[in-house]
Chain A
Amino acid sequence: MLGESRLAEIAQRVLREAKADQTEVMVAATDSHLTRFAVNTIHQNVSETDATVRVRSILGRKTGVASGNELSEAALRKLVRSAETVASFQEENPEFGSLPGPKQAQKVDAFVERTAEYAPAERARGVEKILSMSRKNHLDAAGAFSTEANETYIANSLGVSAYHRGTVASIVTVIMGADSSGYATAASIDVADLDPEAVGRIAVEKALSSKNPTPIEPGEYTVILEEAAVGDMLFFLGWMGLGALAVQEGRSFMNGKFGERITGEKITIWDDGADPRGLPLPFDFEGVPKQKVTLIEKGVAKNVVYDSFTAGREKGKTSTGHSLPAPNTAGPIPLNLFMAPGTATKEEMLASTKRGIWVTRFHYTNILHPVQTILTGMTRDGTYLIEDGKIVRPLRNLRFTQSILEAFSNIEALGKNLVLLKDEWNSVGTCAPAAKIRNFRFTGTTD
């Protein structure tokens, strides 16, 4: 971590050096640490210190981008010249308007000193709590305990200047028996919120209760999806069609549906980069404050998110603060998704289910048809048969092939708790409840 003043100094040096008509600079620094374990031992334990400087130069309507991680004056000068050189080779983009002007983003306190300072030995002690529980039960534990501090500074030659720093801590574990496994996870900006023992206990209980799984015929079943499975669907929904570019290119499930019901009325989904229940970032990668955007409200398609480029293509639209780092041809994406919780506990959902399948999480989910929102994937780490309101036996893993919107139209109940689910690849979090859904389609098994 370099601190706000050092990041600002780097950004201002870039802007002073710039000769383009407009210039944008993003400076990001991270200190990240991850203790990874498998077969009841720590086998990978890593630390990384890095910084990125990304410069976007605009010459008329031509754009060039260059990035690097060297911070010397000479390296920054070279970076600016590179961005300006590639911009000069560009073709004019008639749809490019301007970089955004300054707007004040709200400050969000998302930095916890103890997370940033957490030591390798502390992570190892946390992991050891999970490992000892696993050993005691003759199981094998795998997983990762990570802590990270990050900071981002965005500035441009029109006066934008935005700084945010945050921390993230997360634990994920899969605990396995000979023919069974259990999963649990926890994430927070504050490492003190994480309870490795509680995470380990859930995974151990699932690993023990999923021994001797038996097959079941594929088909349509009522399912109780735990939060991780619902979060997976929510994440894909965001990528497939909740950004303005997808709509402008006619490839979103929202096309032609605004104001119409597209899911059951229990479904309300929004994006909020300032909500501390998620992993906040109060502005986007153009430095535009993130607005809270309601995407689907009581089942009705309401809005998608915009960056400055896509907003400039539509009359009366302004950026909602959802740009990704330049260059970006994927368009704006909601990265702080929330689904409104319901009122049920998972125990109540279970008690009300005559026959169904309990799903802990999905694995290797992928898109089959983005407009029809059809995904496929496997169940993993705790799949059970429900009969007469009780879990009666563990099942072998099943493959599902299912439209998300169709599943969200068949919601019978939503969980009362929102759980923060950190993406494995980025410090991006989705907040989702558990869900009970009828007619969920399984198309294969691992038999």
Chain B
Amino acid sequence: MRDYANRALNQAQAKGATYADIRIVRRETQNIEVKNGIVQTLSLGDTYGFGIRVVANGAWGFASSHRLENAEIDRVAALAVAIAKASAISKAADVDLGPAECHVGTYATPMKTDPFQVSLEKKIDYLLSSDKEARAVQGVRVAESTLGLERNHKIFASTEGSYIEQTLTETGVGVVVTAVSEGEMQQRSYPNSFGRHQGTGGYEFAETWDLPGNARRVAEEAVALLSAPQCSSGVTSIILDGPQLGLQVHESCGHPIELDRVFGTEAAYAGTSFLTPEKFRNFQYGSKIVNIVSDAVTPGGLGTYGYDDEGVPAQTTDIVKNGQFVGYLTSRETASQLRKIHPDAPARSNGAMRADGWNRIPIIRMNNVSLLPGTWTLDDLIADTDDGIYMITNKSWSIDDKRLNFQFGTELAYEIKKGKLGRMVKNATYTGMTPKFWAGCDAICNKDHWHVWGTPNCGKGQPGQVAHTGHGAAPSRFRNVQVGVMK
């Protein structure tokens, strides 16, 4: 592989590149889905290829191919340089990558049991057990139990001297139960929505989450929701469970701190950000108990890795400290750009550049963007709430292009009356504006309730890229929130 990498870098430089890197990536996947007692999906995937990213004439170019052979490397390296030179037609300034990054190293996801080595029979049996439990509940129309595995073996080499090899392994499991009646459909998911909960790690992740032990409960909840009353409308207190709060952090904090969005380079698709540079270290993002960090090092987090796809080592960055906005997710280029505005900003990238495979360029992506735990127990938090709604597991999400106005729906909700959980209600929604919402956060549960929830479906970029991100969260309370938006 070193020979291929060196050839690509040499070819790119010979054609005029002043910087070049190559990523050679093999992605293996395994997906199993049991639906209503039948294994509907049993599939293996394997893609392999390389992408060469260059700076030439001060501008970026990128080309990729699935054929890793000398002649193709030469063609793709030359094409990447030609594309960079075409990009230079409209450049405003030369690309500035800041200080050189030269790292040689390896990283592999720690795990107990390689999930790809566990027999298919064992995995299918696990899902069939979950399916059987879910369908034991009368009124269930569809039960889907899923297991997904992904392994990315990545080699990164650059003209600055980096050579990094990583093997990242992910395991995910989930059960989704659908119940229907005339004009109504309700779903419950466990452990999280989006089909499954996922983390970096081995097969032990699947067993920890015990689908068979929870499938019957969520099936009963789905059926009960059909006849539950509609969530009422009004302004009240809400408590969000960990998975829902994880997505709230993702949408209303994780995306607006991506510095490429802030600088407008994602404007046409995902949008920009309300956290503009003048707010850096000078903006009250939330209440004083709100502390948010980004990190790529939390064991088991779906956004955990050794190096990003620019070869920058994984690290932890404060994002919101005691409610104050203090940090962005950065790349080498955007870190350098921020320093031109704030000379005291960090000189180096905090390692948040990731690409969705060999055929995509790295862009700034969340790793694990997490709300740090507070001090409450969930029981005490409910007991302390006179009137409100406890909302559980995301169903729907939408947020504006600056990440201010959001609206979420949850699968399940309970009224809280005088410190006790009351009626189950369906179709619960809440809406708000990001800083006002986080200013209303007055209680966060403790580390016993805290977990890093995986979001395996974060879309961004043109052409589109899907990232896998993690979000640590514990149930938390928010005051004065508009609920029950759906007619």
Contact = CB atoms under 8 A, between A and B. Distances in A.
Contacts of A79: 46
B400 to A, nearest CB: 4
A367 interface: yes
Given A327-B42, A445-B405, A446-B404, A41 B427 contact: no
B44 A124 contact: no
A93 interface: yes
B431 interface: yes
B120 A89 contact: yes
B463 A380 contact: no
Given A38-B266, A89-B120, A95-B38, A401 B89 contact: no
Interface footprint category on A: 35 or more
B265 A39 contact: yes
Interface stretch (B78-86, B109-117, B167-175, B202-210): B78-86
A376 interface: yes
B383 interface: no
A46 B83 contact: yes
Nearest to B65: A49
Interface stretch (A17-25, A168-176, A297-305, A429-437): A168-176
Q: What is the predominant secondary structure among interface residues of chain A facing chain B?
A: strand
A249 interface: yes
B265 A43 contact: yes
B300 interface: no
A251 B359 contact: no
Contact of B92 (A32, A41, A44, A378): A41
Contact of B59 (A42, A50, A444): A42
Contacts of A42: 59-60, 86-87, 89-91
A16 interface: no
A70 interface: yes
B487 A172 contact: no
A45 B62 contact: yes
A142 B264 contact: yes
Interface stretch (A58-66, A107-115, A279-287): A58-66
A49 B67 CA distance: 9
Interface string B81-105: 0111011011110000000000000
Contacts of B407: 376, 399, 401, 443-444
B267 A174 contact: yes
Interface in B390-405: 395-402, 404-405
B268 A368 contact: no
Interface in A111-152: 119-121, 123-125, 127-128, 131, 140, 142-144, 146
Among A120, A256, A326, A425, the most chain B Cβ lie within 10 Å of the Cβ of: A120
Nearest to A174: B268
B185 A251 contact: yes
B11 to A, nearest CB: 15
Contacts of A249: 141-142, 178, 180
Given A68-B45, A444-B407, A446-B400, A424 B269 contact: yes
A160 interface: no
A251 B401 contact: no
A438 interface: no
A144 B182 CA distance: 44
A269 to B, nearest CB: 21
Contacts of A47: 62-64, 76, 79-80, 83
A352 interface: no
Contacts of B363: 44
A204 B67 CA distance: 42
A67 B44 contact: yes
B299 interface: no
B81 to A, nearest CB: 10
Contacts of B82: 120-121
Nearest to B31: A327
Contacts of A154: none
Given A45-B86, A372-B183, A67 B46 contact: yes
B398 A86 contact: no
Interface stretch (A332-340, A341-349, A358-366): A358-366
B228 to A, nearest CB: 14
A48 B359 contact: yes
A93 B37 CA distance: 9
A38 B405 contact: no
A176 B273 CA distance: 13
A374 interface: yes
Contact of A124 (B90, B269, B431): B90
Contacts of A121: 82, 86, 89
Contact of A65 (B42, B121, B429): B42
B271 interface: yes
B141 A39 contact: no
Contact of B396 (A49, A68, A376, A399): A376
A425 B270 CA distance: 13
B35 interface: yes
A327 B66 contact: no
B310 to A, nearest CB: 14
Nearest to A67: B45
B66 A36 contact: no
B60 A176 contact: no
A146 to B, nearest CB: 7
Interface string B30-49: 01010100111111111111
Interface string A239-278: 0000000000111000010000000000000000000000
A318 interface: no
A364 B400 contact: yes
3 nearest A-B pairs in the assembled complex, by CB-CB distance: A142-B267, A327-B41, A65-B43
Interface of B: 31, 33, 35, 38-49, 59-67, 76, 79-80, 82-84, 86-87, 89-92, 120-121, 124, 128, 141-142, 144, 178, 180, 182-185, 263-269, 271-272, 359-361, 363, 395-402, 404-405, 407, 409, 427, 429, 431, 433, 459, 462-464, 482, 485-487
15 contacts: A45-B62, A47-B79, A50-B66, A68-B47, A79-B46, A90-B42, A120-B82, A121-B89, A142-B265, A146-B463, A174-B267, A380-B401, A399-B398, A399-B405, A447-B433
Given A44-B62, A140-B267, 11 more contacts: A45-B60, A47-B62, A49-B67, A86-B120, A125-B89, A140-B264, A144-B269, A250-B141, A372-B183, A378-B401, A444-B405
